[in-house]
Amino acid sequence: LGIGNCGVLINYAPGMQSTNLPKGMAIHVPAGAKFLFQMHYTPNGTTQEDRTSLGMVFADPKEVESVVRGGAIANVRITVPANARNHREFAETKVDRDVHLLSLSPHMHLRGKAFRYEAIFPNGRVEILLDVPKYDFNWQLRYLLKQPLALPTGTRLRCTAWYDNSSSNPANPNPQVAVRWGDQTTDEMLIGFYSVVEIK
C-alpha cells in the first residue's frame, strides 16, 4: 500500500499480523494523499471475491514524538537456477541518517528457503538482526524488535536469501525452470522490508 508519491506506507502478505506502533510513534499520511493498493493475485481456476479492507487508528498529533518510515532492501536481478537446492542471493542498502530500527519483514515466494538480515556498522562490526532458517511463504511475519536498535549513518543493511528450486521443495511448482524476479507467486522476489524512526 502506497500513498501518492510518498512511497510504501505498509506491506501485507499471507500470515502477517497487523501493525501496532509503540506509544508516541505514528506513520505520517499527508493531507489530501490518495491510497494506492498494489494487489498480487494468482488465478486458481474459480471465480473469487476480493474482500480487502484497511483499518487505521488515528493518532493525536500532540502525542506523536517520532514519525515511523518504511523502507525496502531489494534485488530485482535475482536468478534461481533450475534444480538448485540451496541457491543464495544478496541485497543491500546504506542508512543515510541516524535512525532506530523498529521492525523487519522478509519477503520471498514459493522457492524461499531462508532469510537473514545483518547490520554492518561503520566501525566494521557485523550483527545478525534476524535469522529465519525455515522461511514459509504462507506465514510471512513482521518481526518487531523488543528494543529499537540504533543504526548510525553509514550502517549497511544486508539481506541474504536462500532458495530451494529443487524437487525436494514440496511448494515448488516446477523445479525444471530457472526462476527470476516477478509479481506472480511462481516467480521470485528478494525484499527485506523494514521500519525506522529518526534519532533526534
- Using an 8 Å Cβ cutoff, are 119 and 129 in contact? yes
Contacts of 95 (CB under 8 A, 6+ apart): 151, 152, 153, 154, 155, 156, 157, 196
For the chain, percent of residues with pLDDT exceeding 90: 60
pLDDT of residue 3: 42
pTM reported for the whole predicted model: 0.86
pLDDT tens figures, 104-141: 999 999 999 999 999 999 999 999 999 999 999 988 88
- Which of 196, 142, 161, 167 lies closest to 25 in space, CA to CA? 196
Asked whether the predicted pLDDT for residue 2 surpasses 80, the reply is no
**Binning pLDDT at 50, 70 and 90, where does residue 1 land?**
very low
Confidence of residue 168 (pLDDT cuts 50, 70, 90): very high
The x, y and z cell numbers of residue 71, run together, are: 523502507
Name which of 3-17, 71-85, 121-135, 180-194 the model is least confident about: 3-17
Q: How many CB atoms lie within 10 A of CB 102?
A: 23
Q: Which amino acid is at 186?
A: T
Q: Is the pLDDT of residue 162 over 90?
A: yes
Which pLDDT value is given to residue 38?
Answer: 79
The residue type of 95 is V
Q: What is the pLDDT of residues 146-155, one digit of tens each?
A: 999 999 999 9
* Residue 164 or 39, more confident: 164
Residues 29-46 pLDDT 10s: 888 888 888 787 777 889
| pLDDT at 92 (0 to 100) | 97
